[in-house]
Structure 1
Amino acid sequence: MLLGVIADDFTGASDIAYTLAKGLSGEGGLRTVLYLGIPEETAAADVEAGVIALKSRTIETAVAVQQSLAALRWLLDQGCRQIVFKYCSTFDSTPAGNIGPVAEALAAALGVQGVLVCPAFPAAGRTVYQGHLFVKDRLLNESGLQNHPLNPMTDADIRRWLRLQTATDVGHLDIATVRRGPKAIEAALRENGERNRTLAIVDAITDDDLVAIGRAAASHRLVTGGSGIALGLAANFIEKRLVAGTGASVIGADGPEAILAGSCSGATREQVEIHRANHPALAIDVAGVMGGSVTVEDLASFLLANQGRAPLVYSSGSPDEVKAIQARFGREKVAEALDDLFAGTALELVKSGVTRLVVAGGETSGAVVSALDLGALAIGVEIDPGVPVLLSGGEKPVALALKSGNFGAPDFFDKALERLAGR
């Protein structure tokens, strides 16, 4: 294994796994495997890139650091020459969040400074300019992410945000430096390290910027960012003739299907509205969940009774609805109850023979795949930017699409089910 990724959630892990597998411009990348949690066994000999999916974005910081360092040790034991810490392209965190502490802990373990920080993902509308994160033409804190139920992003200045989380100053490489090419980027990162800055925000507006940044990081032990930062990383190993370069293949598992949507993002709510117009859909009564009147059996029965019709269950409320229910029952209790509900429902579905499962929402995806415990996943073709087909092994493979809340086109759910069938 040449490259190892530590991802702080499951949707992001699948996203960067596909980026590494497809390589630059889709001409072929690294033979990539997605691990759901830290593996207990040694990786297969033919794995070139290993992506470890953790559910560490919103847990206690000390635990997130501990899990990330454990993942680092396993990856280094597999021979990885480069480590990527992958977080969301919308930098989901809080002033007391985990991105800064985990990045600093990984940097200290590897003995490096001047580590680049770049959450940009232009294909999904995320760009970084003057250290500020944009979602399309809006500053992050004006894009709807300020209403995130767990990690409201109220400041688009990533430097300022990270300084609240880190022990050292945070540097910045502007777009002019990036446009001067890999050598200028590498020199600027080295200078930040010499100034004892562990982390440095790097501007990126286009995929070409990300490729240049990736090339500049060819010899870096640690890289951090969204999945876009991986665009140029596979090419570094191919150019050194350490790998031949392979592409993602068409894989799937045709059979019974279900859609679970736990995200409250604007994109997911639109996808839900479009899908429910033509397919069976059940809105989850969150108050009923908290009171015990809405159960796993209710959701599973609805989905199994509507097989062949692309059934959907969802808890994707508006920001006002989410705030009201959180105020009534408590944010953490609501999140935990919904995670348990979706996880239990997924288990029942798979036990009943469902082989195609679409999951919307990072926390929901984490709960579902943790419960299913499917082991290592193969990486297939991309459904929409940032969301590939995933396929488990074994005698009864399960095909998965794990969608971050704000990802995917309006018709994502129908499209995903077709791709999961191998079509």
Structure 2
Amino acid sequence: MIGAIADDFTGATDIAVAFRRAGLRVVILFNGPHETNLPDHDVTIIALKTRTIAPAEAVRQSVEAVEWLRIHGAKQIFFKYCSTFDSRPEGNIGPVADALMHLLATERAVFAPSSPEHLRTQYMGHLFVDRLLLSDSPMRHHPLTPMTDSFIPSVLASQTARPVALIDHRDVRGGRNRISALLDTAVREGTPYVVVDAISDADLVEIGEAVVFDPLVTGAAGLAGGLGAAVARRLGRSTRRDGDDDPIGVVPAVALAGSCSARTLEQIAHMRHDHPSLLLDAVATPDSETLAAQALAWYDEQDADSAPLIYSSLPPAQLRLAQAALGAERASAILETAMGLIARGLVDRGVKRLVIAGGETSGAVVTALDVDGGVIGEEAAPGVPWIFTGGDAPVALLLKSGNFGDPQLLTRAVMEGAA
């Protein structure tokens, strides 16, 4: 079994899709490791919320999750981070990787953030977002994890004392055998961390084959797909093409958006044309419970089938003003807590389909709803699947990473339950 940890909830769903597409059976657990009745599976993913917390706490939660996965049969660990490799200057990618290297007593770990499907590619060590260097992309202005360096070996080296090497694309084109040979050389030379270029899914398949037996593998959804394909080939599994039926059906839907990414802002602008919308203003109302009560009172005034939008996302200039007034961490905490309370209130009111934009917002909502896990359904956009929770009152959740999806995604997703 592959045991995977993801540093946010949308990242967990992203790799769940990648492994599932490869033909593997996938279970996803939220809110950390816990005992549950798991169906037969090849991959267990634990969704954490460790990307922006203090490094020591991120390490503690990650180690706890991996220890649980190993006890429950995981022979290989996949550490998933964002395809933009974003973290604060002190971590948490490096510190978590260091702790897992020690825990697993392994000699090497690859780092491959490329996810070509999402227009994230790495060439000669430099990470690109579509046609822009990472440092020139909107990620440069991320409110919590601004990325101003595109050269991933140096970004990783700033977070760890372990030496870091690069296998650039000239060698990746040589295929799995060339990659394996260079990984072995890195170990002999005392360089345990190896960043690997990839500009296509074919590159990631070759990398996946090269590391298929490694105790620890790190990367984004692109490498999860490559590794999944290598494992599925050895298990004799065919690519998964069919999707699960939607057990929720026609139900009230609401979109909740907290990401300030450029793509989410586009999606909000598109949705506001045809759906009622409410902006949560933490500066005017710096109290989570009051904000949530105001939002729920507003929702109660809307038509039941209007599929409204409640959002806190702001463009960069307005976001800086809000953070200056409240402090970045306080502003985020107020809004995330409010979104969780709003989600709980909406479900109590009969909303059974929630479309959530942003990794931190997704984590807050899933935690507030006390969701343990769910079944992966069809994708509403690449890497963005519906998740159907279990229990007596199932809910459909779409957890969307901030930069994922086309501009119409939020609008399209809330209408799936209204047809």
Q: Which residue number corresponds to residue 210 of structure 1?
A: 204
In 2, Cα distance between equivalents of 1:293 and 1:215: 50
Q: Aligned runs of 1:131-142 on 2, under 5 Å?
A: 131-142=125-136
Is 1:71 matched with 2:57? no
Is 1:93 matched with 2:90? no
Q: Aligned runs of 1:336-355 on 2, under 5 Å?
A: 336-355=333-352
Equivalent residue for 2:369, pick from 369, 372, 380 = 372
Q: Does the CA contact (< 8 Å) of 1:172 and 1:200 recur in 2?
A: yes
1:42 Cα offset (Å): 5.3
% same residue: 44
Q: Which residue number corresponds to residue 353 of structure 2?
A: 356
2:235 partner SS: coil
Paired residues in the alignment total 416
Q: Which residue number corresponds to residue 275 of structure 1?
A: 271
Q: How has the CA–CA distance of structure 1 residues 43 and 237 changed in structure 2, closer, same or farther, with 3 Å as cutoff?
A: farther
Q: Does the CA contact (< 8 Å) of 2:62 and 2:96 recur in 1?
A: yes
Runs of 4+ aligned structure 1 residues displaced above 3 Å come to: 242-248, 291-294
Q: Which residue number corresponds to residue 240 of structure 1?
A: 234
In 1, Cα distance between equivalents of 2:47 and 2:339: 18
Equivalent residue for 1:311, pick from 308, 312, 322 = 308
2:286 partner SS: helix
Is 1:290 matched with 2:289? no
Q: Which residue number corresponds to residue 153 of structure 1?
A: 147
1:409 Cα offset (Å): 0.2
Q: Name the TM-score, length of structure 2 as normaliser.
A: 0.95
1:341 Cα offset (Å): 0.5
1:302 partner SS: helix
Q: How has the CA–CA distance of structure 1 residues 242 and 50 changed in structure 2, closer, same or farther, with 3 Å as cutoff?
A: farther
In 1, Cα distance between equivalents of 2:188 and 2:37: 36
Which consecutive residues of structure 2, in runs of 5 or more, have no partner in the other structure?
A: none
Q: Which residue number corresponds to residue 3 of structure 2?
A: 4
In 2, Cα distance between equivalents of 1:19 and 1:202: 19
Is 1:301 matched with 2:297? yes
1:371 Cα offset (Å): 1.0
Which consecutive residues of structure 1, in runs of 5 or more, have no partner in the other structure?
A: 24-28
In 2, Cα distance between equivalents of 1:130 and 1:162: 15
Deviates more, 1:283-292 or 1:117-126: 283-292
Is 1:402 matched with 2:399? yes
1:81 Cα offset (Å): 1.8
2:180 partner SS: helix
AA of the residue aligned to 2:3:
G
Is 1:391 matched with 2:388? yes
Q: How has the CA–CA distance of structure 1 residues 130 and 244 changed in structure 2, closer, same or farther, with 3 Å as cutoff?
A: closer
Equivalent residue for 2:244, pick from 242, 249, 256 = 249
In 2, Cα distance between equivalents of 1:156 and 1:244: 36
In 2, Cα distance between equivalents of 1:361 and 1:304: 24
Q: How has the CA–CA distance of structure 1 residues 422 and 293 changed in structure 2, closer, same or farther, with 3 Å as cutoff?
A: closer
1:116 partner SS: strand
